[in-house]
Amino acid sequence: MPSISPNKPYRVGRSRTGLGLFATRPIKKGSRIIRYFGPLLDSKKTDEDAIENKYLFELTNRWTIDGSVRENIARYINHACKPNAESDVKPRKRKVFIRAIKNIEPGEEINYDYGTDYFKAFLKPIGCKCEACEKKRKKKRAEARAERLRLKEKAERKERRKAEKLAKEKARARAMAKAEKVKQNGAKTNRATTNRVRANGQHHLNGHSLVRAAGKRGTAAKRGDARALQA
Ligand SMILES: [Zn+2]
C-alpha cells in the first residue's frame, strides 16, 4: 500500500473490486479531495499517442494525463455510477482534481464516474461492480427469484386444481357406478317381484285362455249355429 501523509483525509484499502480509496475523516461536499496527476501525453507525438492503460485521463483532444504512475494515489479511486465525488477538470491548467459532491463520512469509499467511454470499454464487458449496479443486480435477482416462485406456485395451483378435478370426476364416476349398482339391484328385486307377479298372472292368463277357449268354443258354437242355420 502506498504511504499517504496522515493529514490527508483518505487511505487506500480493500474494496469489493480490489483496492479503493476510503475517507478517514469527514469530507465536506464541494471540497477537493485529491489531485489526479501524472505525465502529460501529447497526442501529436505518435509514440505518446500509442500509450495504452486504464489510467489515462483525457483532458483535451491533445492532452491526456497518464495516471498509471505509482505516486498518483487518485488512481485507486474506483468508478461508481452513483458516486460521491467527481473529476473537476481544468483543461487550461491541464489539471484534474477529485472533488466531493456529497458529504462523505469516514470509512466510506470515495468514487467518481469514469465517464461513458471508460464504462463502455472496460466496465460494461465485465459488469460494473459499483454499489448502485450491485444493488440493481441484487434487485433483479430478487425479482427473478420472485417471478420463478410465482410461476412455481401458479404451476402448483394448476396441478392442484387438476388433481381436484380428477378426484371429483373419480368421485362422480364412483357415485354413478354405485347408483347403477343400486339400480341393477333394484331391477333384480323388481324382476323377482315381476316374476312373482307374472307367475300369479299366469293363472289369470290361464283363466283368460280358459275364457278364450270358452270364447272359441262359443264362437264355434255360434259358427255351428250359423252352419246350423245355413244347413
Ligand atoms: Zn455501476
CATH homologous superfamily for 10-127?
Answer: SET domain (2.170.270.10)
What distance in angstroms lies between residue 131's CA and the mean position of ligand 1's atoms? 7
Mean pLDDT of 183-201: 66
Q: Does residue 113 carry a pLDDT above 50?
A: yes
What distance in angstroms lies between residue 31's CA and the mean position of ligand 1's atoms? 23
Mean pLDDT of 103-119: 95
What distance in angstroms lies between residue 64's CA and the mean position of ligand 1's atoms? 24
CA-angle at 228, arms to 224 and 231, nearest 5°: 135
pLDDT-based confidence at residue 218 (cuts at 50, 70, 90): very low
Residue 199 pLDDT: 57
What distance in angstroms lies between residue 129's CA and the mean position of ligand 1's atoms? 6
Asked whether the CA dihedral 222, 226, 227, 231 is positive or negative, the reply is: positive
Residue ranges with strand state E in 29-174: 32-36, 40-42, 56-58, 63-66, 78-79, 85-90, 95-100, 109-112
What distance in angstroms lies between residue 214's CA and the mean position of ligand 1's atoms? 118
What distance in angstroms lies between residue 130's CA and the mean position of ligand 1's atoms? 4
Q: Does residue 229 carry a pLDDT above 50?
A: no
Q: Does residue 225 carry a pLDDT above 90?
A: no
What distance in angstroms lies between residue 79's CA and the mean position of ligand 1's atoms? 7
pTM of the model: 0.66
What distance in angstroms lies between residue 123's CA and the mean position of ligand 1's atoms? 8
Query: What would the pLDDT profile of 195-213 be if each residue is shown by its tens digit?
Result: 665 555 555 544 454 444 4
Residue 10 pLDDT: 97
Mean pLDDT of 168-172: 95
pLDDT, the chain, mean = 86
Query: What would the pLDDT profile of 1-24 be if each residue is shown by its tens digit?
Result: 777 888 899 999 999 889 999 999
pLDDT-based confidence at residue 192 (cuts at 50, 70, 90): low
Q: Does residue 155 carry a pLDDT above 90?
A: yes
What distance in angstroms lies between residue 63's CA and the mean position of ligand 1's atoms? 27
Altogether, the residues listed in the chain come to a count of 231
What distance in angstroms lies between residue 81's CA and the mean position of ligand 1's atoms? 4
Using the structure block, give the residue that is written with the C-alpha cell 472533488: 99
What distance in angstroms lies between residue 126's CA and the mean position of ligand 1's atoms? 11
Q: In the numeric block, which cell numbers belong to residue 72? A: 498518483
What distance in angstroms lies between residue 224's CA and the mean position of ligand 1's atoms? 127
Determine the Cα–Cα distance for residues 67 and 73; give it in Å rounded to an integer: 9
Residue 4 pLDDT: 85
What distance in angstroms lies between residue 57's CA and the mean position of ligand 1's atoms? 19
Mean pLDDT of 190-196: 62
- C-beta separation of 58 from 64 below 8 A: yes
Query: What would the pLDDT profile of 35-53 be if each residue is shown by its tens digit?
Result: 999 999 999 998 888 888 8
Query: What would the pLDDT profile of 56-91 be if each residue is shown by its tens digit?
Result: 999 999 999 999 999 999 999 999 999 999 999 999
pLDDT-above-90 percentage for the chain? 66
Sheet holding 56-58, edge to edge: 40-42, 63-66, 56-58
Mean pLDDT of 168-183: 92
